[in-house]
């Protein structure tokens, strides 16, 4: 499986604190059948320039890659880019895509979205310059009218949900329904550590299999592989 959303790089954001923790997370991921993981450290334009972010990410990667066990999942460097008004004009945006691709993992603000935000995201999708994956949609899905999601889906924006969305009784049904309706396309652990926010992909996979059978998982795998290794959609 591909984990499209994680905070495994050490010491760069609120995720893994050090190399040792990163390795524990990667080992747990490997046990959960994750063979590829996108390291999507937070990028906040208000806190750091893209250049500074990329420099720090490179340093974190060097520290981690020196200690990686042989059987660690493959790691793809990326970023979880928080939307800000004007993002489409940021010259360095392509450099924040998953390495070797035009895939942008876009996090939206948790509060209400202005018309401008929605329009800018749609323009970004329409430009054809990016494949947009919207990060952990469960955080905002129910705060927006369905029409917004319909428009995003029509423009080919892909939706990622966290594995954790499928676990608690209160959200499980919603998660399964969105997956069944084709409104969730990709999964991520959004793992930050091994205590409060560990990788829980195996539990989500078991839940999906139990309720919907293996086919949705096959589709998720197929799409992920197409995106990362077959040149995109």
The minimum distance between CB 40 and Fe ion, in angstroms, equals: 6
Find the binding residues for Fe ion in span 26-65 (CB under 5 A).
none
The minimum distance between CB 14 and Fe ion, in angstroms, equals: 9
Find the binding residues for Fe ion in span 63-82 (CB under 5 A).
80
Helix axes 201-212, 169-180, angle to 10 degrees: 60
Q: Which helix (H) or strand (E) holds 21?
A: helix 19-31
Q: Which of 169, 181, 189, 185 is nearest to 225 (CA)?
A: 185
What is the DSSP secondary-structure string of 155-221? TT-EEEEEGGGGSSHHHHHHHHHHHHTT---EEE--B--SSSS---HHHHHHHHHHHH-SHHHHHHH
Cα-based distances in Å from 166 to 68, 110, 201: 30, 20, 10
The minimum distance between CB 42 and Fe ion, in angstroms, equals: 7
The stretch near Fe ion (CB under 5 A) out of 81-89, 93-101, 109-117, 184-192 is 184-192
How many residues of this chain interact with Fe ion, rule: CB under 5 A?
A: 2
The stretch near Fe ion (CB under 5 A) out of 64-72, 120-128, 149-157, 188-196 is 188-196
CA distance 105 to 87: 13
The minimum distance between CB 28 and Fe ion, in angstroms, equals: 17
For position 120 contacting Fe ion by CB under 5 A, the verdict is: no
For Fe ion, the closer CB: 1 or 105: 105
Binding-site member from 120, 138, 164, 190 for Fe ion (CB under 5 A)? 190
Contacts with Fe ion by CB under 5 A lie at 80, 190
């Amino acid at each position: 499986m591909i984990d499209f959303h994680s905070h495994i790089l050490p010491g760069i954001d609120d995720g893994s604190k050090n190399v040792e923790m990163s390795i524990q997370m990667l080992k747990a991921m490997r046990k959960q059948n994750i063979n590829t993981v996108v390291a999507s450290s937070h990028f906040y334009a208000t806190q750091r320039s893209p250049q500074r972010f990329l420099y720090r990410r490179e340093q974190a990667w060097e520290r981690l890659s020196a200690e990686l066990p042989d059987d660690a999942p493959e790691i793809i460097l990326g970023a979880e880019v928080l939307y800000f008004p004007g993002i489409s004009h940021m010259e360095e945006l392509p450099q924040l895509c998953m390495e070797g691709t035009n895939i942008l993992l876009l996090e939206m603000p948790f509060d209400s979205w202005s018309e401008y935000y929605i329009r800018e995201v749609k323009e970004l999708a329409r430009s054809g310059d990016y494949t947009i994956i919207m990060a952990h949609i469960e955080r905002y899905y129910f705060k927006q009218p369905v029409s917004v999601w319909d428009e995003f889906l029509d423009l080919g924006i892909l939706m990622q949900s966290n594995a954790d969305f499928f676990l608690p009784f209160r959200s499980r049904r919603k998660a399964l329904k969105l997956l069944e309706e084709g409104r969730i396309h990709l999964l991520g652990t959004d793992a930050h550590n091994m205590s409060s926010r560990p990788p829980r992909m195996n539990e989500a996979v078991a839940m999906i299999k139990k309720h919907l059978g293996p086919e949705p998982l096959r589709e998720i795998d197929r799409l992920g592989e197409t995106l990362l290794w077959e040149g995109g959609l």
